[in-house]
Structures are given as structure tokens and as C-alpha cells.
Structure 1
Amino acid sequence: MTRRVVELGRAARAESGVKIRQPLQRALISAQGWSSLPVEMKEQISDELNVLDLADIADADGDLVDVSIKANFKSLGAKYGKAVQDVAKIIASEDAVSLVKLLRASGVATVGTFEIGLEDLVITEVPKSGWMVASHDGESLALDLALSPELIAAGQIREIIRAIQERRKSDGFEISDRIEVKWNASDSLVETWLAGAQHISAEVLALSMTRDPDISYIEDELEFGFELKKYAD
């Protein structure tokens, strides 16, 4: 399940256009067995998706997505033969959110006198504003796309770290080399950089980090630049 949920999360991020380096506050998951998944596996999912909080989607489906359902005639036809049209009519009259929630919780449901499973439905989920939902084979993940100033700053710091790490590699530094960093950034980014300087330094092994207003920007999107030098004892 861990791998499937991660794949759903990555699909939701890709569809939304939000980079994996941008932390998000929460994701809501709907999958059989989610509630009993070990804490360490949930933490792994949280880390891989760069999402701070994970929770069960079961009680929130209708608030996050517009859900519609119709009969899967191939599956139902194999089960009920000529009665498939009767089953389809009953399914069409059911409350979509309630039926999908029941099936995701228990795996089976009775409509009229017919027992059905998730495979007997074609489920369409259209995310409401502020959420991105990915679904596959009865499992769903919804990403909360709202970005607080704190989340935006955390994402910017990750971008800074990525850029410096890539420069370390391209400049031929050894993994263990300590460095000195001179940097410059746009006014909107300076406060974030200063607030995150200790974390940035720890990640890139910088023993000094000094702002130099003469350094040109090399990252256009965030408007920052830097120079690296191997630290000399």
C-alpha cells in the first residue's frame, strides 16, 4: 500500500504543478487498511510526498470532491447477467458519496438485493477548489494545495539547498568538503534566506554564509545567486 499511496501523491502533485520540493500541509487518503498501516510506513509516505500531515479521507470525501458513479457493466454483467440493467438503475439512484464511502470502508455493499464491490462502479471524482485528487482502483489521495507563508518559505529554502548542492557537484567538491558561501537575493527572499541560514548551512556543509550585494542572480524564478569556495583551515 505504501508504494501505491506514494504513486497517487506524486500523480496529484504532477497534475497540480506543485513541485515535490514545495512542502504541503496535508494529504487525505482513502484506502482499505489505511487506518491499520504502521506509523513508520505513514511517516515514510509523508517524507516521500513532502507532506506534513496525513489523515483518513473517509469523513471528508463530499467536502473535497464532487463524486459521481455509474455501473461497470463488464464487471456486473459477469456477476448478474441479464439483471445487470436492474442493478445499474439502482446504482444510479444511490447517493454517490455515501455508497463510495461505504465500499471503501468495507469492500462490499448491498444495493437493492444485489451485492457489489468497488470494481462494480465507475467512479468519477472532480476535485473542488484548493484540492487535487488522484484515484486508482478504489484508492484515493487528496492534496491540500493551500500554501501558507511558512510553507512557501520552506519550499524556497529547499530550492536554495538544491541549487547549492547541484553547484557543489558540478564544481567538483568532495562530499565531505566544507565550503564558504557568498550569496545575494531579491528583497522578497532575503528574510527567508536569513531565517533559514542555519538549516541551509547544515545541509550544504557551509561554515560561513555571507550576503554579497554584488553577486548576480542565477536563479530567475526566485531571484538569487551565490558563489562557493572550499573552506581553508
Structure 2
Amino acid sequence: MVVVAQGIVSAVFDYILNKGSLEKFYYLCDYTPFAAPFGYYLNEDGSGFDLHKHYIDQITLKGKNGSALRRIPDVLDCWFESGSMPFAQLHYPFENEKKFKDNFPAQFIAEGVDQPRTWFYYLHVLAVAIMGKPSFKNVIVNGIVLAEDGKKMSKRLQNYPDPMAIFNKYGADAVRYYLACSPVLRAEDLNFSEKGVEEVVKKVLLILYNVLSFYKLYSDPNDPNKHPNDANILDEWMIAKTWLLIDEVAIAYNSYDLNRAARPITGFINDLSTWYLRRSRDRFKGDDEKDKKAVLGTLRWTLEQLALVMSPVMPFTAEYVWQELGNKESVHLAKWPDKQKIKEVGHIMNRMDAAKIIVELGLAKRAEKGIKIRQPLQKIIVKGEELDKEYTQLIIDELNVKTVEFQKGDGEHVVVELDMAITPELKLEGHLRELVRTINGRRKKAGLTPGDVIAVTYQTDSEELRKVFVQYGEALKKAVIAGEIKSSENDGETMEINGEQIKISIQKYKLQVTSFKLQDREEFCGNLETGNL
């Protein structure tokens, strides 16, 4: 049964489904039969019923008081009613005059791309006619979300995944951020893809959670440093980049450009993880307490600002990060970061971008020659503008070279050349790095933490690998957090280090330290040698 305007009941669908007649229908208000017959009846085959106006007008219904009810003859476009929404919702002008005037016109309106010629149009027509100004200041228009095959989502075709299954599998924030970064928020159509939501989880959420876990691993919950420190060039760059993100997102939100407000978060999280955190990793593990506090403070502050910035588009993730950092009040009750002026922010960003370009070109050269990043090289030659010492050191660390030599370039493009000659000494250092990676991989597989000291037993016929243990034994101990490294037969797994065979086994060191701090491990290993424990 279909109800149309003014309580008229359409019988056509009920007749089709139930093979009944109009006499079986009842008025919905009081369930009384039709008060008066009309001038035609259904034929036996069901024909003869017409819903056009001149037939419907013959139908009368009985009201609760027994009076006859007829269709109102005037027809008014229903969008006219929608256009009166700003006034009708407050019963203006009959009451709430001050409240209406304080809130008219509205700051913004949001609806689908099918509304500009209907609701938006009527809102403006009525508002301009009555008040002499438009009914809203800003508009957010979304496109249509289609199935992955480009067709309209249809229950009959089953061409879309169950929304609740998507939420349960990936989380609501992943879906929300996927949509916020898509063309659908720029009034364009979107072919919804579950792979796109999965990509958000992998490239945004999991990376962010890993950064948070790394911070919690090395931070002291009883003495959290909440203040950034720009003494180190990486900290200075991260602080500047964070303020740029805050500024960019704030401008986009103030312009009601939700798409532009959401997209920069992905690149920021990637830079936070793959550049800042990776290049600062040794600082967290180092012996310089002042520098360690500085990097912890900068990372905590960055994560807090990121939580604030991402809270509108990923509210659950932002709240989780915020609470995990030890904040008691909800991130959604916190104040948006105040705009700050960063000195020489352009210089910092340009220099770091130049360093990153050199690194990218250097890594491409290594890949072209098939030389692993763990194999040290003597130098890289850069034909381009010379960078400051701090940025040069980042290039050295990232490309695993001993020196950087700057030469005058053509002024337009940076060109890099790597010295590919591998001396016996460089080769041993390459073996050392491979051993560190292998042993730390075994630690991770065994579920050990940075506080667990291990004993390493190795067995090899390779003279080169034996030299590594002799020349770099102490460095290896420190890098893998080992209390003892010895050569002996063992039942460990046989593996290959740059073409050389070795069998390695690890186990927890028998001498356990009650409170072993990462910064104490060099002293610990030294005391083992001298017998001072």
C-alpha cells in the first residue's frame, strides 16, 4: 500500500500483489472504509484503475468525525517546503526572532551533487525574496558513491560489500579517511573499492601505530618530556613540518575544503616514520641523555599535534593516540593548536628536500649497480649546491657512505655519482651490518625486548666473517645487545652473509640485570670484559 499526499491511499500495488479490490482498503487514520464510491470499478482482469488526477479527485474518505475528506486541489512543489527550512525550523517570524537573526544565514550547508538545482536553489530563492540575502555562506557538495564496477550500488546486483563488515574488518576511521581523501568530496563520483580502504590501513594507520609503539618503547611514563627541542636539525625540521601541516589543514578547513584538509596527513605520517624516526633511531638508543630527551620530547609533541589535526577526520584513531600519550581529557575537548611563526622555515624545508633528493638519486644508483644499502661505500659526488654540515651528515648516514663531495653543477638539475669501489675494509663493514641485521632479526623472531641481553654463538669456515668478529666484536655486541659472543659448534640455523656461510644461535644471557637500560649497555659490555660485574 502506498500513501500519497493528503492521506489518499493508492490501491494499485495492493491489487497487483493481492488480487484484491478497492473495497478492501481502509483509511489509515481510523481504519474506516471508503466513505463514498467513485464512478468506475476494476474489471475482472484488473484493468480500469487510473491514478490520474481526474480519477483520484472522485475518491472521498471518511474522517474521524464522519465528514468527507477530499484531496486539496492545489499542487505545490515539495521543494518549496524544503526551501522554507531556515524559517520553519524556528517558527519564524512568529517566534524566536533573535535566535533566527543570530544564525541566519547559515555558515555552511552539505548535501549531494543532485541538490544544487533543487534544495540549494529554493533556499536561495526564498531567502533572497524574504530577507534580501542568501540562506548560507558556504557549501560542501559530495558526489555519488558507486560500486567498484562503476554501476549504481544495488541490493539486487549485490555489487558492493556489506558496510558493517567493512567497518568490523578495517575500522570506521579507515573508511572515513578513504572517502575524505577521494574525489567524492569534490562533487565527483567515486567507484568504492575495498582495496582503497585496506590501503589506508597499511599506509596510514599501521605506520602511525608503529611510530606510537616505538615512542612508548623508549619513553619513561613517569617523566614524559612534552616539549619539542630544535637543537638537532632533524628535530628542527620535524617541528617546522608539523607547524606547516597545522597551517595547511587549518586553511583548508576554514575554506570548507575537506578534501584538501585530509590529504596532507598521509604524506606527513610517511615522512614522520620513514625519514624523521628512521634517521633518529640511534638517538633513542644512544648514550647521550640530553639528546635522547630532546628526540623523545619532539616525537611526543609531534604525535600530539598530529592527533589534534587528524581528530576531525579520524576521531577514534586520534583519541587512541592522544590517550596512549598519557593525556586524560579527550582530544576532542582540546584546543586547536595556535598558529606559530617558524624562523627560516623555508630554508629548513628547502635544504631538507634537497638532501632527500640526493638520497633518492643515490639509492637509485645503488639499485642500478645491485649494491645493497648495508654495504658501505667510500663517497658520493654531488654536482649541485653544497649543503650545510647537518644535512650532509644525513646524506652520509642514509646512503651509508664515508664522505660527500660537492662539485659545481649546471644549476638546474642535481647529478650524483657513487664511488663503487669496495675495499677489503669496506667489505668487512658490509659483513658487520648484515650480521647485525640477521641477529636482530633472530631476536625479534624470538620475541625478545631491548632489555633482554643475549649470548651469541657462531660457527663458520669463512675467514672474512671471522675477521668481522675479531675486529668489530665490541661494536657487534652493542648493536645486538649481547653480553657474550663466542665461536663454537651450535645447532643454530645455517645462513648466508654476502655469500659466506655461517651458523648462528642466540639465547638469553645467563647473567640477568634487574634494571638494564639501553644507554648502559656499552658500560655493561665493558664490565663483562674487565670482570667488574
Report the TM-score range of the alignment, normalised by the length of the smaller protein: 0.5 to 0.7
Q: Which residue is 1:38 aligned to?
A: 388
Query: Partner of 1:6 in structure 2?
Result: 359
Shift of 1:232: 2.7
Question: 1:123-162 counterparts in 2 under 5 A?
Answer: 138-162=413-437
Deviations 1:167-193 (A, max 9, x none): 000011112110111111223221222
Cα deviation digits, residues 97-143 of structure 1 (max 9, x gap): xxxx5xx1xx4xxxxxxxxxx5xxxxxxxxxxxxxxxxxxx211100
Bigger RCO (CA 8 Å, 6+ sep): 1
The one of 416, 440, 454 aligned to 1:165:
440
CA distance in 2, matches of 1:209, 1:216: 14
Give the equivalent residue in structure 2 for 1:190. 466
Residue identity (%): 31
**Equivalent in the alignment of 1:126:** none
Q: Aligned partner of 1:28: which letter?
A: I
Corresponding residue of 1:47: 397
User: Which of 505, 508, 511 is residue 227 of structure 1 equivalent to?
Assistant: 505
| Deviation >4 Å, runs of 4+ | 214-217
Q: Which residue of 2 aligns with 1:18?
A: 371
Conservation of the 8 A alpha-carbon contact between 1:183 and 1:215: no
- 1:46 Cα deviation from its structure 2 partner: 0.5
Gaps of 5+ in 2: 1-353, 512-533
AA of the residue aligned to 1:148: T
Partner residue of 2:480? 204
Please list the CA deviations of residues 13-46 of structure 1 after superposition, one character each: whole Å capped at 9, or x if unmatched: 1101000000000110012x22xx1101000011
Residue of structure 2 equivalent to 1:124: none
Compute the RMSD of aligned alpha carbons.
1.5
Question: Structure 1 residue 161: deviation in Å?
Answer: 0.6
The 5 Å alignment of 1:98-117 reads: 101=409, 104=410, 107=411
* Structure that is richer in helix per residue: 2
Q: How far, CA to CA, are the matches of 1:214 and 1:176 in structure 2?
A: 24
Query: Does the 8 Å contact 1:179/1:206 carry over to 2?
Result: yes
- Residues 213 and 231 from structure 1, CA distance in 2 versus in 1: closer, same or farther, beyond 3 angstroms? closer
8 A contact 1:217–1:223 mirrored in 2: no
In the aligned structure 1, how far is the partner of 2:493 from the partner of 2:401? 29
Identify which range, 45-54 or 183-192, moves more after superposition: 183-192
Separation in 2, partners of 1:215, 1:143: 41
| 2:67 corresponding residue in structure 1 | none
TM (normalized to structure 1)? 0.63
Inter-partner Cα distance in structure 1 for 2:403 and 2:375: 14
Q: How many angstroms apart in 2 are the aligned matches of 1:153 and 1:39? A: 27
Give, in whole Å, the separation in 1 of the partners of 2:359 and 2:366.
11
Q: TM-score, normalised by structure 2?
A: 0.28
**Structure 1 residue 217 displacement after superposition:** 5.9
Conservation of the 8 A alpha-carbon contact between 2:492 and 2:505: no
Separation in structure 2 between the aligned mates of residue 217 and residue 197 of structure 1, nearest angstrom: 20
Decide whether the 8 Å contact of 1:178 with 1:230 is kept in 2.
yes
Partner of 2:312: none
Look up the SS of the partner of 2:455 in the other structure: strand
Partner SS for 1:219:
strand
Deviation at 1:212, TM superposition (A): 0.9
Q: Is the 8 A contact 1:25 1:53 kept in 2?
A: yes
